[in-house]
Structure 1
C-alpha cells in the first residue's frame, strides 16, 4: 500500500508539473484584457464605454481656431503653423494624428458593439443607455473625419489587420447619412440628465446631430434637431459669460457636452500652454489676432469701422462688447497672479511682444479656461473642456432657419438670447427684412460668442470663405508710440490658402503606404 501511495503521489506530481508547464505555454497576454476575461458584467460595459470617452477632443481644441483668421500658431516652427501657411502635405504629423486618433476611437466603439451583448445584464436599461453613449461618441469621431478629409472609410465592425489594409473611402454623403442615423438612433436610448456628470445625454445627441446637419448643409434637419434640444427645456444660458470657463461654473445648465478632467488623476495642461507668458512661463501656443479683436462691436452694437460707433483707436478696448474682455487678455486686464497684463512692445514685462520667442506675437492671449486655481501647478489642470453648449445650439437653429429663408421671430429670439445674456447685454437684433444681413449677423455672433472653442476652422470651410479671410500677414494689437498708432505684425509669417486644395486635408501618406487603395484628395 505504501509503495502504491508513493507511486501515485509521484505520478500526481508529474501530472501537475506537466499541467503547469502547459499552462505556462498558454498564457493570456498581460498587456491587454482578453475577451475571455472581460465582457462579463455591467461594470465591464461601463469601463469599455469610458475608454471611448477618452477620444473626445481635449486641449487640442485650441488648435482649430489657432489655424484660422482669428487665431495664430505662436511658434512658427510648430506643425499647425505649416497648415496656416499652406505649406503642409500628406506627411504632416497633425494630419496623421487626427486620422489615427479618430480611427482608434472608432475601433474601440466597434469593439464595444461587437461584445456588449455577451453580458447578461441585471439591468438591460443600463446596456441600452451605454449603447446610446457609444453611438454618439462614434458619430462625433466620424463628424471630425468627414469634415477634415471628406470621403473616408466607413468602418462599423471590428476588422483584422489585413482587412484594414483593404478598406476604401466612401462618399462623404454616405458618412453624413451614417452620422445622422447614429445620432437619431442614440437619442431615445439616452436620458435627459445623467446621474454621473460628463456622460452623454439626449441633449448632447440631438445637439451633435444639429451641428452635423448644419455642417453638411442639411438645414431643415439642423433646425429641427436644434429645436428638439430647445424643446427639452433642460438647458439655459449661464448668466455670467465671464465665469463660463471657470471651475465654479463647471457642469452648469448651458453645457451639453464636455470632456471632464480631474487634477492629479486625469489632468490637462491648458494653463501651461495657453496662459500669458508671464504666468509661470506659459508657452502661448495659440494666440488671438487683430481680426478676432476687431470683430467685437462697440457695446452699442455698431461696428468699430462705423464713424458713429464711438470707437477710439487710442483706447481700443473701451466700451466694447463685454465678451471681448471675457474671452481675451488685452492690455489693462488683471492676470491670475494679480498683476496687470501689458503686452505693448517695449513695456518691459514678460508679456511684451518681442520679450521672448514664446511670448505672444500678437499682443493678445486667450482668457477662456485660464484660472488662478491652476497658477501653482500650470500643467496639472482639472478644468473641464466644453465641447458643446446651449449658445451654439441657439445659433445653429438661427443659422439654419436663415439659410432656409424662414425668417421669423424665432430666429431673432435665438440670436438675442445669446446677445442678451445677463453680463453681456448687447442691443437686440430687430430687423428680419434681409436674409443677407441676418446671415452676416449670425456668422459674426458665432465668431465672437464661440471664439477659441474649436469651431471657427470648420465654419470657414463649410461657408467656403477661407480663401477670402485667411491669406496674408498676421496682425495683432494696435498701440500708441510717440503719439503715433502702430500695429503689431507677426514676424516673417504669411498665411496662404489654396481654394482648389485646402478645403480638404490630404489622406495621410503613412495610411496610403499601408493601404494603396486609399485614394488621395485633389491636388495633394
Structure 2
C-alpha cells in the first residue's frame, strides 16, 4: 500500500513540475522566442540577401540571360530554347518557390516586429520593417513580371488558407509593390557607415524597375529622378573593372550581394567559372555570348551593322560600341595570357608570358570542344579565376547605369525628349 501511495505522489509531483517548464528551446530559434532582439531580426533579414532568394538575378551565372537569344550553351538544349517548358520545368518551379519563400520570411518579420519593441528604438523598427517591405516588393516584382497574375498575401497564413488562395490581378499587386517600395524609401537611409544594406536609393531604383517592367513610364521616370537626385551615385570610370572581383564597392553599385572566398561564400564555383574562360587557359568554353547579342551592339555612328557603312565583316569588332569589346573577347587580342584567335587557320597562338607559339586549343581545327560559335565572354571573367577557379565578385542586382537608362527609356516612351 505504501509503495502504491508513493508511486501516486511521485507521479503527481512530476505532473505538477511540468507546469513551470519553459517549452521554448534555448539552443535554437523558434517562432515563440525569435524576433525579439535586433540581432535576431538582422539574422532573419540577412537570409533575404542570400543569392537563392534572388533566384533569377544571382543564383548561378545570369540565369535569365540563358533564357534569351543573348546566350549559347553548348552542353545541352535547354527547355526554353526547345519550346518544351511545362509545369514540371525545374527553373520555373524553383523561381516560383524561392520568391515565395522570401515573401513568407519578409511577412513574418513584419508581423513579428512587435515582439522586439521593448528592445529596439523607433529608428531600428523603421529600418527593419523597411528592409522587409523592400524584399517583399522586389520578389513580387519578379513574380508578376514572369508569371503575370499570381497569389498575393502580405501576412502569415494557415495551410487551409494557402490551399484556397488563387491568382490576383497583377495591376492590384503592382500598387501593393509601389506602396512597399515607398515605405522602404521613406524608412531607409541613403547610406550606411558599416556593412552595406538596403538603402533609400535601392528602393527607388527597384521601384523604377518594377514600373518599367509593367510599362508604367511616368512612375518609372519619377522613381529614377528621385534616385538620381539623391546625389550619392555615379558611373564607374572603367566599364571592365566594374565587373571584376576586385571591385567590391563602387559608386555605381546601388545593390549587390557580397561574396567572400575567404569565408567560403563564392559567387561561382570551379564548375561555373571554367564554363566561361578559353580552353587555352584550362576553361571549357561551354557557355558563350551569342551572335544575336554580338550584333545588338551598334556601330560608332549609332547605326545597326546592317545599316552602317562603318561595319567591316572581316574585322567585326572595329568601329563598334566600345562596350562590345568588354563583353566579348576581340579576335587577335591578348586575353588571360594568350592571343585569342578562333579562326580555323590559327592552329597555333602566342603565349604572352613565354613569348612562344603554342598549340591553339581555341580553334575547332585543334579542339572540337572549344567555343561553339567562336565567341568567348570577357565581361565578368577575371584573370584571378585561373588560380583556384573560384570567384567572389559581388552579384550585382541593380546599378546606377540601369537607373539612367530606365529614365531615358521612360522619357522617350512618353515623348518627353530632352537633354537627358
Find the counterpart in structure 1 of residue 276 from structure 2.
275
2:108 is the alignment partner of 1:108: no
Question: Structure 2 vs 1, CA of residues 20 and 47 (structure 1 numbering), >3 Å: closer, same or farther?
Answer: farther
How do residues 86-485 of structure 1 correspond to structure 2 at under 5 angstroms? 86-119=83-116, 120-263=118-261, 264-269=263-268, 272-273=271-272, 274-278=275-279, 281-282=282-283, 284=285, 286-306=287-307, 308-309=309-310, 311-336=311-336, 338-345=337-344, 347=347, 349-353=360-364, 359-378=370-389, 380-410=390-420
CA distance in 2, matches of 1:345, 1:215: 43
Question: Structure 2 vs 1, CA of residues 213 and 292 (structure 1 numbering), >3 Å: closer, same or farther?
Answer: same
CA contact (8 A) 2:280 2:338 kept: no
CA contact (8 A) 1:62 1:286 kept: no
Question: Structure 2 vs 1, CA of residues 259 and 18 (structure 1 numbering), >3 Å: closer, same or farther?
Answer: same
Shift of 1:116: 1.8
CA contact (8 A) 1:66 1:287 kept: no
1:11-58 alpha-carbon deviations (Å, 9 max, x no partner): 9xx6899489969x9976799621333222111111111011211332
Find the counterpart in structure 2 of residue 472 from structure 1.
none
CA contact (8 A) 2:247 2:393 kept: no
Shift of 1:284: 4.3
Find the counterpart in structure 1 of residue 355 from structure 2.
none
CA contact (8 A) 1:276 1:359 kept: no
CA distance in 2, matches of 1:256, 1:73: 30
CA contact (8 A) 1:272 1:282 kept: no
Shift of 1:157: 1.2
Find the counterpart in structure 2 of residue 41 from structure 1.
37
CA contact (8 A) 2:140 2:177 kept: yes
TM-score by length of 1: 0.69
CA contact (8 A) 1:334 1:341 kept: yes
Find the counterpart in structure 2 of residue 83 from structure 1.
80
Shift of 1:291: 1.5
Shift of 1:333: 3.5
Structure 2, unmatched stretches of 5+, are 1-5, 348-358
Say how many residue pairs are matched: 394
Question: Structure 2 vs 1, CA of residues 203 and 98 (structure 1 numbering), >3 Å: closer, same or farther?
Answer: same
CA distance in 1, matches of 2:48, 2:252: 24
CA distance in 1, matches of 2:32, 2:200: 33
TM-score by length of 2: 0.85
Shift of 1:281: 4.7
Which structure would you say has the larger RCO, counting Cα contacts within 8 Å and 6 or more residues apart?
Answer: 1
Shift of 1:142: 0.7
CA distance in 2, matches of 1:267, 1:84: 29
SS at match of 1:232: coil
CA contact (8 A) 1:132 1:190 kept: yes
CA contact (8 A) 2:362 2:371 kept: yes
SS at match of 2:288: strand
1:456-488 alpha-carbon deviations (Å, 9 max, x no partner): xxxxxxxxxxxxxxxxxxxxxxxxxxxxxxxxx
Find the counterpart in structure 1 of residue 351 from structure 2.
none
CA distance in 2, matches of 1:250, 1:62: 18
1:411-432 alpha-carbon deviations (Å, 9 max, x no partner): xxxxxxxxxxxxxxxxxxxxxx
CA contact (8 A) 2:253 2:396 kept: yes
Shift of 1:235: 0.6
CA distance in 1, matches of 2:242, 2:75: 28
CA contact (8 A) 1:271 1:370 kept: no
CA distance in 2, matches of 1:266, 1:157: 32
CA RMSD of aligned residues (A): 3.1
CA distance in 2, matches of 1:123, 1:322: 50
SS at match of 1:158: coil
1:241-298 alpha-carbon deviations (Å, 9 max, x no partner): 1211023332100111111111133212166424224276545464211121122233
Shift of 1:335: 3.2
2:51 is the alignment partner of 1:50: no
Shift of 1:332: 2.6
SS at match of 1:388: strand
CA distance in 1, matches of 2:26, 2:281: 41
CA contact (8 A) 2:235 2:400 kept: yes
1:212-249 alpha-carbon deviations (Å, 9 max, x no partner): 11111111111111110111111111111121102333
Question: Structure 2 vs 1, CA of residues 138 and 279 (structure 1 numbering), >3 Å: closer, same or farther?
Answer: farther
Structure 1, unmatched stretches of 5+, are 1-9, 411-524
Question: Structure 2 vs 1, CA of residues 392 and 307 (structure 1 numbering), >3 Å: closer, same or farther?
Answer: closer
